[in-house]
Amino acid sequence: TEYSSKVRPPPVIVNTLFLPRTENSLSSFAYLSAEEEKNGAPYFSESEIENTKRILSENGISVRVVGASASFDTREKHETNLSEAMVAVRVAARLGAPYVRVFGNRIKGDAFEVAKNVSDGIAALCAQAENFGVTVLLEVHGDFNREETLAPVISALSDVKNFGVIWDIAHSHTH
């Protein structure tokens, strides 16, 4: 579609800007890892963020959610996932995006223990994200896609002001 110079296309709101874990899942503009951020990642680093925001703005794009692939189902990986999710929190803060999306992921073993792992991990992330003015959203995804798996996590985090749920309707099916 062509637009005249007097008519601008409507603004685009990017609901989720994904930050994949590996270069193999590079999706042009959105690749970032913790190591690259530390070394001055293009696009989202402190030195490039203003240029990135300008490009997004000039193209009518507003980012609302930065997607982290972090999940908190296993306690052994909490520190790694917390670190990865904090990359997304910093990027969200730089972009002015109010939300970061994370996962509960899979329930392997005792469901109560896994729900506690997820709520503990998200609580730790929320505590750090609060300093950046970012809210953490648990995506309805994986095994955390039904009332009986989401309710314990939501209940445990009910007093956390910067916690919420993002509903991905494509992952709302039951097993």
Which of the 8 DSSP states describes residue 4? Answer: -
Q: What integer pLDDT is reported at residue 155 of this predicted model? A: 92
Q: What integer pLDDT is reported at residue 172 of this predicted model? A: 64
The closest alpha carbon to 136, from 162, 173, 97, 105, belongs to 162
- Integer CA distances (angstroms), 124 to 72, 98, 121, 156, 163, in order: 10, 18, 5, 12, 11
CA–CA distance, 73 with 1 (Å, rounded to integer): 45
Q: For the ranges 5-9, 17-21, 57-61, which has the lowest average pLDDT? A: 5-9
Residue 10 scores a pLDDT above 60 = no
Token couple for 76 = 């052994």
Cβ(111)–Cβ(149) under 8 Å?
yes
SS3 of 116-174: HHHHHHHHHHHHHHHCCCCEEEEECECCECCHHHHHHHHHHCCCCCCEEEECCHHHCCC
**In this structure, which amino acid lies at residue 36?**
E
The predicted-structure confidence for 71-119, as pLDDT tens digits, reads as follows 999 999 999 999 989 988 998 999 899 999 998 889 899 999 999 999 9
The predicted-structure confidence for 26-77, as pLDDT tens digits, reads as follows 233 443 444 444 444 567 777 788 888 888 887 777 788 888 889 999 999 9
Handedness of CA 150, 153, 159, 164 (dihedral sign): negative
52-25-173-14 Cα dihedral, nearest 10 degrees: 10
The predicted-structure confidence for 122-156, as pLDDT tens digits, reads as follows 999 999 999 999 999 998 888 888 888 889 999 99
Q: Which residue has the higher pLDDT, 39 or 120?
A: 120
166 — phi, psi (to 5°)?
-115, 125
The closest alpha carbon to 97, from 35, 53, 144, belongs to 53
pTM of the model: 0.77
